[in-house]
Chains A and B, each alone.
Chain A
């Protein structure tokens, strides 16, 4: 299968790979997917006091498109408010990376990861 240049670029030079302290109350962690399905994404965000996503990190087990999708969303999320980040749609990810139909699920997973990370952050904040 031929990959788009953007997928290859993110795959070769993934942005924001890493791990944050998941116990930190300013950090939200979202892990989606399953090893049996061939992809697992872990997306983490750090939210500043004024409600902006000041940092985002990811690690992904999956195909090149899954890695590129998660790398891309870490770039897009930075500097956004939580509400703005929730507006990122899988269709935008798929379009930006020119994903073929069989890879659309990778972009769906990335959207799910965003939601899961924000959800985790909100849960932590409300219980704190």
Chain B
């Protein structure tokens, strides 16, 4: 059996060999780099502290901010929690209204839902069918008691890029804080925090060829953003996030972000070509729809609905490809992707969707193989599909009386 081709880089990436090699040095006795960065009294502690600060610079450099604005966390989920809850609690006297969007990651949506239990009010903006937020609608949603806007940079399912620079202008002008979940964008598209008026930004290491269990939150110093800490116990990270620093993880994130900074432009170009090859390869199949805007989109992502074929059976047919589906048939909810729903895709198209995400180790041969497999399996599954039959007979499926179950 041939090995499964990995096309799920938006879920996670492998750690780059160069990163893994460097990380290992910070784990073992040999070399004396395993120390606790908070140990101020001996060279082991100093060495670890130096490594942590070097990594902080590497992360800061990729997004053009001051290293002192980077707070280490266990991942983007923790960074989102710290940003949103931290702001909500600190600025509660100013107001209790937060604005976000329906297509945010669950790490933002679930935090907001939880805040609603504590009396906060949350507006969930509905994006346009392109997946992009209409800035006029955002502006209209802002109120005197709005304290925070949280909008992701790049969507994890459909890869569309929000205009965070423009949103930052709007929020800053109104004295509202702006948080951006950049887990899917950092290392893929340029981020310049020196120019963009973003106040808080969440990062993940493992989406950018670093280790899992590692992330960071950018917290702006000028104008200063205050947060209520969510993790107490020692006052690490200037009181914003306690806990012994995971030196090897931090070093790994730093190295991964350094590599991203050096190779991003070239890599994105190569990946864009592969994505276009994939899109071109499947576009001659009938009834194929791309989900999300193609222009404002990271090159790594392609989310496609193959009408009249159900996503999970398609994934089963494409077992040689590691991809993910917007059909939630695998979960207990039986509800298709909330992101595709929010951009107005009918449920049947959401059920028929696959997300391909391309990365550092994807080759043209991989894509070629994927394209021929997709052609073969779509044909097979459509021969099995009563909906395809009806479509071919010219029956408008929206006029059929279905027995929902």
Contact = CB atoms under 8 A, between A and B. Distances in A.
A51 B345 CA distance: 46
Contacts of B50: none
Contact of A105 (B308, B334, B385, B387): B334
A76 interface: no
A61 B332 contact: no
Interface stretch (B54-62, B247-255, B284-292, B310-318): B310-318
Residue of B336, B384, B387, B402 ringed by the most chain A CB atoms within 10 A: B384
A1 B386 contact: no
Interface stretch (A33-41, A80-88, A90-98, A120-128): A33-41
B348 A35 contact: yes
A32 B329 contact: no
Interface string A54-82: 00000111111011000000000000000
A27 B375 CA distance: 33
A35 B405 contact: no
Contacts of A45: none
Given A3-B316, A61-B309, A62-B310, A34 B383 contact: no
B330 A105 contact: no
B331 to A, nearest CB: 7
Given A60-B385, A102-B330, A33 B403 contact: yes
A99 interface: no
A92 B279 CA distance: 43
A1 B312 CA distance: 10
Nearest to B336: A38
Contacts of B346: 36
Given A35-B387, A105-B334, A61 B403 contact: no
Chain A: number of interface residues, binned into ranges = 20 to 34
Interface string B381-405: 0011111110000000100001111
Best-buried of A17, A33, A35 by chain B (most CB within 10 Å): A35
A114 to B, nearest CB: 14
B347 interface: yes
A67 B403 contact: no
Nearest to A7: B316
Residue of B327, B351, B386, B403 with most partner-chain A CB within 10 A: B386
A44 B386 CA distance: 12
A102 B389 CA distance: 28
Contacts of A14: 384
A85 B385 CA distance: 24
B386 A39 contact: no
* Consensus secondary structure, chain A interface: mixed
A4 interface: no
B332 A32 contact: no
B350 to A, nearest CB: 9
A62 B315 CA distance: 11
B351 A35 contact: yes
A117 interface: no
B384 A63 contact: no
Contacts of A102: 330-332, 334
A67 B329 contact: no
Given A35-B387, A38-B334, A64 B405 contact: no
Contact of B384 (A38, A60, A108, A112): A60
Interface string B295-319: 0000000000000111111001000
A34 B403 contact: yes
Contacts of B329: 38-39, 62-63
Interface string B212-236: 0000000000000000000000000
A19 interface: yes
Contact of B403 (A32, A60, A63): A32
Contacts of B312: 38, 63-64
Given A38-B336, A102-B332, A108-B405, 4 more contacts: A35-B402, A38-B351, A60-B384, A63-B327
Interface of B: 308-313, 316, 327, 329-332, 334, 336, 346-348, 351, 383-389, 397, 402-405
21 contacts: A11-B316, A31-B386, A32-B405, A33-B405, A34-B404, A35-B387, A35-B402, A36-B346, A37-B334, A37-B404, A37-B405, A38-B312, A40-B387, A61-B387, A62-B313, A63-B310, A63-B312, A63-B330, A64-B316, A67-B384, A102-B332
The 3 closest A-B pairs by CB, nearest first: A34-B402, A35-B348, A36-B347
